[in-house]
Amino acid sequence: MDRMRDRVVENAPALVLANPGTQVERIYFIREVVTYSSGAWFRSDVNLSRGTPAYVIIQLKSGPGQKTTRLKLFGKVVRSETGGFAVAFEYP
């Protein structure tokens, strides 16, 4: 995968619901997100474990004065390190 060419948008805010429907369910607001067609990198101090299921809501704006679009996606954490974590989106 060519990450630079695959990149969709940077710095779109997102809500991440980690471990949905469980006793350890948590919601995180992430301000810096780099999205790709198959997933997203969340710049954050939050470190979620690899394999953690997550619902992600990302707000996208097409430009100044443009309508906001919300993407609702589901995926799993595939990478976690100092400074952030990555979620790969799952498709039906």
Identify the pLDDT of residue 87: 96
What mean pLDDT is reported for the chain? 86
pLDDT one-digit tens code per residue, 3-39: 555 656 667 789 999 999 999 999 999 988 888 888 9
Q: What is the sign, positive or negative, of the torsion defined by CA atoms of 28, 83, 50, 34?
A: positive
Q: What are residue 4's phi and psi, to 5 degrees?
A: -65, -40
Distance CA 69, CA 29 (A): 17
- Domains of the chain in sequence order: 3-89 (2.40.10.220)
Instruction: Name the pTM for this structure.
Output: 0.81
Identify the pLDDT of residue 6: 61
